[in-house]
Structure 1
Amino acid sequence: MNATKIRASVVAGCRGLGLAVSTVVVSGLYFCLTLLSLALIVIGVGVFTTPPVLQAVRVWANRRRALAGDWSDVRIAVPYRPLPADPRTGIIGQVELVTHLLKDPATWRDFQWLFLDMIAGFLTAVFPALLLWYPLEAVVLACGLWLVFRNDPYWYAFIPVDSLGSALLAVLLGAVILAVGLVFNPVLLRAHFRFCQFFLAPTKEATLAQRVEKLTETRHDALDTSAAELRRIERDLHDGAQARLVAMGMNLGTIEALIEKDPAQAKKLLGMARASSAEALTELRDLVRGIHPPVLAERGLGDAVRALALRLPLATEVEVDLPGRADAPVESAAYFAISEVLTNAVKHSGADRIWIDLHGTQGMLRASVTDNGRGGARVGAGSGLSGVERRLGTFDGVLAVSSPAGGPTMVTMEIPCQAFASC
């Protein structure tokens, strides 16, 4: 057994001890407070005490969810229904808030978890700690403590310790227990978090409801985005190419009238018409590229992103590791999401270098854009990243932003892609 595994087992035992204490102290305290607050609803006091108590319980449950992911890689989603966006104030608002919280099934699952966390949660958490620390008791007995119990044996597990020989047998048993702990402690700690996951994760019904709500929201976003895109195309055509074509038609009409009377002026207007046609063609090409770049359709996402990087005013490195072509809608969503992130980086980051990493594996298309700018980027109302998040949400994609003050900023995007499912 290498040093890394031994260290992980020792750490798991220490963490189990801390969890065991918290299950009894913190979970027990919150269970009693919740029970008392719910009982006080009958006389009206609980209407005011229940919301802060339940919010504290949710913070405690979220803390356990976070530890499950950090310590044992057990991911537990947050199941709570969103609170009212514009709650009323006063007693009526408090009654509505309490009603909303009590109607949430996750509230009652948290309550069940608090009670069982004091019992089953304590046992599953303390076991790794016992396997790690219980052998120390055998060592202490063998070091001379057995002399105290020579007339009245002390039971170490199933061994009565009343002599040096029995104390050494206890040390041998303790070594076996320690060996078991060093091998299985991480697994036992994970078992504790699996127990928590059973109560703290969303139920199938809640997951389905969240899924329906998410799909409804993303559908509305997709419709709004499509409508906005159509308005943009209409505006660009009206103000750009259409206006130039109208002007070109008027010039041609004038040329037709002047071609015999004033050939010099007609020739001048003809040159202006030729310039207008070239500008209109350029604008139409830019418009088509904005709808769906030809390089994306012809050569795929990797080459399209490389072409996009070449047009940036900043030094840009692109690394592509794609096992093949993704579905066209996925490629389009990824391309325009990367384009929007790059635009934000050029305009707002103050960076002088950008790195783009694009790869696909295990049914997921992943793209990250990193810049060495000032940082401070975030997803919020009015932010360009909010639009990227909505675009990805249409495909069940996710957006993660890491942008501490002073930089660097890393924007990571993931989109499920069946084309890479076997990779």
Structure 2
Amino acid sequence: MSAVPVTVRTVTVRTGTVRTVTVWAELRRRPLGFLWSAWPLRVWVFLLTGTLQGTAVLVLFAVLLFVGVGLSVVGIGLPVLAGTAVLGVPFGALERRRLLLVEPVPLADPHGSLPGAGAAVRLRSRLRERATWRELAYLLVQAVLFTASGLGFVALFGFSLLLSAAPVFVWAVSPDTVMLIPGQPISGPLAALPGTAAGLLGLVVCAYTGALLTGAQVWTAQLLLAARDEDLSGRVTELTRSRARLVDAFEAERRRIERDLHDGAQQQLVALSMTLGLAELELRGREPAAAELVTRARGEARRALEQLRTLVRGIHPQVLTDHGLPAAVAELALRHPVPVTVDIDLPHRLPGPVETAAYFTVTEALTNAAKHSGADEVDVAARLEDGKLVLLVTDNGRGGADPAAGAGLQGLADRVAILRGRLIVTSPVGGPTRLRVEVPCSG
């Protein structure tokens, strides 16, 4: 017998836990081969672009800070300072993209989406998030510390390139104007080869030094720019609440439709059937042909009323609202074509969402048993254990049910998952099929 759990798919997200820095790992794995790989070029591009970006951000931050402080005396500097505080948000998003030059796994965005929100709402939301202040801290570290080290690296890298190309300069211009050592002109291209050797040595130093600087910047970015558990847990909580609100709205709409049909169309059909009955009595002795037509119309109205009542019960049974889960399942069992044994013993009424989820789980299970399993007996049992509803639906059919084959059980699994419960289907070939639902009743 094999159990097939039906659960909502989950996505693994990289959080703010500091991971292994790829460039450092590559440098340790093959120190000499590192020079002949694409890593030195990637490191150099990363550091050069970071230096340019850090310089521009430092200037922009200083200007905004100066303007905000200067205008605060007239009361309009606070919005500028608030904008300066959230400057790290777009900078962090750009930096997470730039890190892909040296890190294959992208960092998760710590911010939740705010669709349709205005600028003021976005600003307030971002100022309340811890990730915003971590990104601002990274902006300052990048603009000051990494930009200063980047400028030193750029100077060393540029000087090494010039030394490596010394013979070309000597050949292209007059040898007397090119000097590796002040006051000592170079006589020819061959005499500039020591400069080339020094330049190549400088590029080797740049490769290893650049790897160390890049690794330090990546490590800092992992610490400050990646989503942390508290960021992701808040977003998961909000998503769960959003899904719960959607389910509640859907249930409210179902109940409104059920009420409108019950109090509107159903009552009109009852009145129509009574009117046709009176017309039948009036015509029976005088117009037999017309009376027969009225009788037929009355029968069709009665059948339409029965279909409407069945539809209303399928939308949301009134007995579930009035009397709870045991009475609703008992009524469902009486109308089912397959004999159903109901054993539901609950000490009190359950929360509305729990009762609704359990009822429609039983409805789906009984429908599947009647249509697909070939069962001639179904058992429904429910108990309250440690504040959790445990519902079991078992049929003696042929088994082999595949929860992934249809949307019915998957939809039930999604509904149960919103309530922090789980739905498990066990259906080996040859039967029996057993459906187990566990839902906490704690709100």
**TM superposition score category, shorter chain reference:** 0.3 to 0.5
Structure with bigger gyration radius: 2
Provide TM-score, normalisation by structure 2: 0.46
Provide TM-score, normalisation by structure 1: 0.47
Q: Which of structures 1 and 2 has the larger relative contact order (alpha carbons within 8 angstroms, sep 6+)?
A: 2
